[in-house]
Amino acid sequence: MYLEIAMFAYFVVLFLTLRDIRIFKRTGYLSYRKGALRGLAASSLVLIGAVAVEAKPELGLLIVLMGLFVNRKGTKREKVFTSAGTLDRFLGKTDYRKK
């Protein structure tokens, strides 16, 4: 059960990182680039925690939690969604494009 929790956290962090990358590629806003880089570091930490769950579940989940804290939003981000629907926001489809 602990491994499933850790892997779910890993895939959530990975999804949010890919979403930040997509928004950065579409808009060019540096705050989303920083978020994507933070997400890469967090996904690595969560993956290490998922591997450690096999040996010691409490320590592994603690490392996963630390990775989730690394992935927090942090800085204020630019508003990129004005008229997008829920699915478009979920997938990172922005209304703004790079010029």
Q: Is residue 95 part of a domain?
A: no
Q: What is the mean pLDDT of residues 55-82?
A: 88
Q: Is residue 8 part of a domain?
A: yes
Q: Is residue 71 part of a domain?
A: yes
Contact 78, 29 (CB under 8 A): yes
Q: Is residue 73 part of a domain?
A: yes
Contact 74, 35 (CB under 8 A): yes
The total number of structural domains in the chain stands at 1
Q: Is residue 97 part of a domain?
A: no
Which domain, by its residues, includes 35?
A: 2-89
Q: Is residue 75 part of a domain?
A: yes
Q: Is residue 96 part of a domain?
A: no
**Least confident stretch, 58-62, 79-83, 87-91:** 79-83
pLDDT given at position 47: 96
Confidence grade of residue 6 (pLDDT, cut at 50, 70, 90): very high
Residue 99 pLDDT > 70, yes or no? no
Rg of the chain on CA atoms, in Å = 15
- pLDDT tens for 10-59 read 999 999 999 999 989 888 888 889 999 999 999 999 999 999 999 999 99
